[in-house]
Structure formats: structure tokens, C-alpha cells
Structure 1
Amino acid sequence: MDQPPVLQMRLVVETDDLDEALAFYRDVLGLTEQAAFTGEGDARVVILDAGRATLELANPAQARMIDEVEVGRRIAPPVRVAFEVTDAAGTTTRLSEAGATVLAEPVETPWRSLNSRLDAPAGLQLTLFQELESLEERARRPGFGTADDRDR
């Protein structure tokens, strides 16, 4: 099998307080440090492993619907970071205690995940999601699947 043309996605976030962001994302959320580099003039970068990456593209109607389900109003910026976690309620509490602002407590979504929304360090809005059913189970329900499934 040929290697796919894209091997990794990195979301690069500039932050004025790298130490605060590291304490939050590495030490509290639990992302592991993959690499770190320093350069001239106090230049620093730390690459955190967040597991598998996906790029979720949503049209404005879908983005509004997600905001309505998760938060009850339109609130998301054009880019929002979502982390799949094993315990949405517990992780929301831990991140709140570490300085994140909870915008919405965990709520079960129509797509069967438990989602919360937070404002977090480095100017990021986060969705934490805990899957309540497998992709295979979800794909059997109306409105879910892939574009290939809908084209048939």
C-alpha cells in the first residue's frame, strides 16, 4: 500500500505565555511532549502529541447548529480545537480548575457524544468530546456516514 500524501497535521498556536500554555495543555490536559526547540532571542517551541489528528470542515449552518447544541448560542470563532477525551465531565472540571473558562458544561449531542466548551490559554476555544457510540453504530443512523455513502 502506498503511503498517504499527508502524514501529520500540526496546529501551530502563537502564545504570549508559553509556560502557562504548557502547564495547561501538557500538565493538566495530558498532552505528551514530543519535541522542544530553542533558538536565538528566547525563541521557544514545544510540540505536544495530541494523538490522531483530523480536519473537520463545517459550513456556517453546521457551525451554528454545533454552537446551539453545545452552548445554546452562536459563540465559536472560525477555528475551534476539539479534543476527544475519555471523561468529558472530569476533564472539563480539571481544565476549569486550571484556569479555563467553562462556556458550557457537558451535554449529550444528537450525534451521540458528550461535549463541553471552554475558553482556554493561548486564545483557544476548546470542545471536549467523549464518544458515546462507535463510528460504525453512528453510520447506521440517518444523516450520518460519509460523502461516498450519500452519493450512492
Structure 2
Amino acid sequence: MTVMDITLSQCFIAVHDHDQALAFYRDVLGLEVRNDVGFEGMRWVTVGSPAQPDVHIVLEPPLADPGASAADQQAMAELLAKGLLRGVIFAVDDCDATFERIRAAGGDVLQEPIDQPYGVRDCAFRDPSGNQLRFSQRKRA
């Protein structure tokens, strides 16, 4: 069997307001804006960590389909508001310092830093659209 070289290129996070999302992902988390594109009345913003130039997080509309019905758009908006669409886990060097920085910036805390039985210390927040974001640090031996 031949092993394939597979790496992550992009992931998508639905947001209800790109300007609020940018204030969080850029200004609070420190991600860089790589692209900001409008198309057919929708907007996609790409952000990423300067430490990972080949990994892009696309902040997209909750329902990226210009032909979607009003009912479908409403259903997706409701799922987003409940935090049921997507989640992302970020690796950090210092979970506690990351937690304090995000909380001080007004982040919506879901979980304070805790040592997990599976070998990490992590914390969790909701972004301005309701998506769950976890910040995970490998436990030191």
C-alpha cells in the first residue's frame, strides 16, 4: 500500500457577521487576514496563523448557497446561533495564558482550563457566531 502525503489546507467556520468575526479571529486570537472576497451578495474571509501559512480558516456565511430558500437560511442561522455547526481546536503553548487573554478581551467562556484525561490541558470559548473553539496544550511530563 502506498502512503499518501495528505495535509490540511482549509477548514470552514460559519459566521453570521464577518466584521464581528474579524474582530475576534484577527484582533483577539491574532490570526492574519489572508483574503476577503465578496461574491453574489456573500462574503468569505480567510484567516490563518502566521505559524501555519499553508492552513487557511475560511469564515463563510452559514449557508453558502445564493439559491437557498428563506426557510433553509433561517434553519442554518438557528443552528449557528446554538453553536451546533462546527468547532475548531487550536494548539497553544500556554493554555492558561491563552484563556486569560481571550477572557480579558470579552470572550464567551465555555470551559476554564482543565487537565483532560487524554493528555491535554484545554479551555473552550464560543466565537461571536456561537461556534465552539477549544484551545489545547499538550501536558508536560
Deviation at 1:127, TM superposition (A): 1.1
In structure 2, the residue matched to 1:18 is 18
| Residue ranges of structure 1 left out of the alignment (5+ in a row) | 54-75, 138-152
Aligned length: 110
Whose strand proportion is higher, 1 or 2? 2
Q: Percent identity?
A: 32
Structure 1 length as normaliser, TM-score? 0.59
Whose helix proportion is higher, 1 or 2? 1
Q: Secondary structure of the equivalent of 1:91?
A: helix
- Larger gyration radius, structure 1 or structure 2: 1
Partner amino acid for 1:45? W
* Cα pair distance change 1:39/1:77, threshold 3 Å: closer
Deviation at 1:36, TM superposition (A): 2.2
Matches within 5 A, 1:64-143: 77=84, 79-133=86-140
Deviation at 1:3, TM superposition (A): 6.7
| Residue ranges of structure 2 left out of the alignment (5+ in a row) | 56-82
Distance 2:15 2:85 in 1: 18
Q: Secondary structure of the equivalent of 1:24?
A: helix
Q: What are the superposed Cα offsets for residues 73-123 of structure 1, whole Å, 9 maximum, x if unpaired?
A: xxx857421111122112112222333221221011223321112122222
Query: Which structure is higher in RCO with an 8 Å CA cutoff and minimum separation 6?
Result: 2
CA contact 2:14–2:85 (8 Å) conserved in 1: no
CA contact 2:124–2:133 (8 Å) conserved in 1: yes
**Aligned Cα root-mean-square deviation (Å):** 2.9
CA contact 1:36–1:46 (8 Å) conserved in 2: yes
Structure 2 length as normaliser, TM-score? 0.63
